[in-house]
Amino acid sequence: MKALRITVIIIAILLVTLLILGALFPSEHHIEQRVAVDASPEKIYKQINTLKNWENWAPSSPDFSYSGPESGEGARQSWVNKNGKGYLEITRSRPYTLIRAEMKYPGDKKFKTNWLLRPQKDSTYVIWGMDYGGLSYPFGRLRGLIINGRMQANIHQGLHNLKAYMEKKK
C-alpha cells in the first residue's frame, strides 16, 4: 500500500511538472540562420527557387516527386518516408530577394519558411527562416523544443551545403 501511495505521488509530481513546463514554453517559434555565400543573388535565387536543384544541397534528400511549375510560385516537391507524406510548396517568389514556402512534415503541422537574399559586396547573405506555431498546451509546446532543435540542425546543414555547392560551382 505504501509503494502504491509513493507511485501515485511521483506520478502527480511528474504531471504537475509537465504542466508547469508546458506553460513556460511558447506555442509559436521563429528560427533563423544566415550565411555569406560567395555568389550572386541571381545564382543563389535560381538554386533555391528551382526545387529540383535542392538535390544538390538539401540537408536531406528523400525521393522527391515534383508537381506544378518547375520553379517559382506553385512549384511543389513531395516525399514519403516511414512517418508519412510531406511537401514543400513555394507560395511567393520575388526575383533575387525573397522566396517563401509552406512545408509539411509527416505528423507535424504546417511550417512557413523563407529565404532572404541580401547582396553584400562580392557575396550574398542568405537568411533562411522558419516559423511554426499553434502548439497545444502542454505536450505540443514541449514537443516544440524537439522540433526547434531538428529544424535548427536542418537549416544549418542546408545553408552549409548550399554555400559549399555554390562556391564550388564558381
- pLDDT, averaged per 10 consecutive residues of the chain (170 residues), comes to 87 85 75 94 96 88 87 94 87 97 81 94 93 75 72 90 89
Query: What's the CA gap between 79 and 87, in Å, rounded?
Result: 6
Q: Which residues fall within 8 angstroms of residue 107, CB to CB, at 6 or more apart?
A: 83, 84
Q: What local confidence, expressed as pLDDT, does residue 143 receive?
A: 73
CATH code of 2-169, in short, is: 3.30.530.20
Please state, in angstroms and rounded to a whole number, the distance separating the CA atoms of residues 32 and 144.
15
Domain map (residue ranges) of the chain: 2-169
Question: How much is the pLDDT for 141?
Answer: 65
- pTM attached to this predicted model: 0.80
pLDDT at position 82: 80
Contacts (Cβ under 8 Å, ≥6 apart) of 36: 120, 123, 124, 125, 126, 163
CA dist., res. 131 & res. 27, Å (int)? 11
DSSP state letter for 50: B
> In this predicted model, what pLDDT tens digit does every residue of 89-119 receive, in sequence order?
999 999 999 999 998 877 767 889 999 999 9
